[in-house]
Amino acid sequence: MNVAQERQAVRDAVVMRISDITLTTRGRSVPVRLYRPAHPDPAPVLMFFHGGGWVAGDLDTHDSFCRIMCEWAGCAVVAVHYARPPERCFPRAVEDCYAATEWIAREGAGLGLAASRMAVAGGGSGGGLAAAISQIARDLEGPEIGFQLLLYPVLDCLACNRSRKQFADGFGLTADKLDGYLGHYVPPGVPLAHPWLSPARDTCFNALPATLIITAGCDLLRDEGRSFASRLKKAGVPVRHKEYAGMCHGFINYPAANPQARRAILLCAEALARHFTEAGTSA
């Protein structure tokens, strides 16, 4: 093998290809980061909406999670850089996420994506966005989303439960910090019960995608995740709920320091891979 062949072999061994692109749709431009497996077959798609209280996160803060899902679950990941406050407030983030999801479902084949096999995911505020996008897609008969992965999601901005009180301070995400995020994100006069802000307050939970919800035992958002899982089950939605005792909000972001985080990441990848395999078999 000559030098040129050696170099080509190294390039062929790359497990994924990453590119930043801008989707132009619905009269707006939505930047996304596309992670594609190196294999040539059309890849199933995970739409990923980052956390950070709608305000602080970006594509780089959650880059490692997207890379792992791309490699371990064998899917493409489209991470959406939705508009954030103070420049753009609610409902712009929801509109950007849905517009990107709709564009990928419609045009993804041109990027080598099997957009007919689509899932959504997010953590914290991004988990709430993922849940909202699933509900909107169902209501508008939009993109067919087969699976949602919700990591310690914000699901009820008016929640008043045990975990909201027990972990309001001293466990990472505090009640004051969450209120501050909402103050930046939600304009005056907009009800926090709006289902795009509080998907748990939607009136219908039927016909939603199969779901994996991960909650943290020491997170003020814990109980709304538990409740959402229960309501999905009652509506006949296939759902798995896994709680990690002793963990705080955002624990999955620190796998190097925490074996629980590593186990949770593996669970996410296995659940996605299983769903995409089953969806491919039934297609």
Domains of the chain and CATH, by start = 13-282 (3.40.50.1820)
Tokens at 147, concatenated: 């699976």
> Which is it for strands 113-123 and 210-216: parallel, antiparallel or unpaired?
unpaired
Using an 8 Å Cβ cutoff, are 74 and 273 in contact? yes
Residue 238 has what pLDDT? 98
Using an 8 Å Cβ cutoff, are 36 and 16 in contact? yes
Contacts of 273 (CB under 8 A, 6+ apart): 72, 73, 74, 75
Residue 30 has what pLDDT? 97
Q: Is 167 exposed, middle or buried (0-12, 13-18, 19+ CB in 10 A)?
A: buried
Residue 3 has what pLDDT? 64
Residue 13 has what pLDDT? 46
Tell me which DSSP letter residue 55 carries.
T
Residue 6 has what pLDDT? 58
Q: Which residues of the chain have pLDDT under 50?
A: 9-10, 13
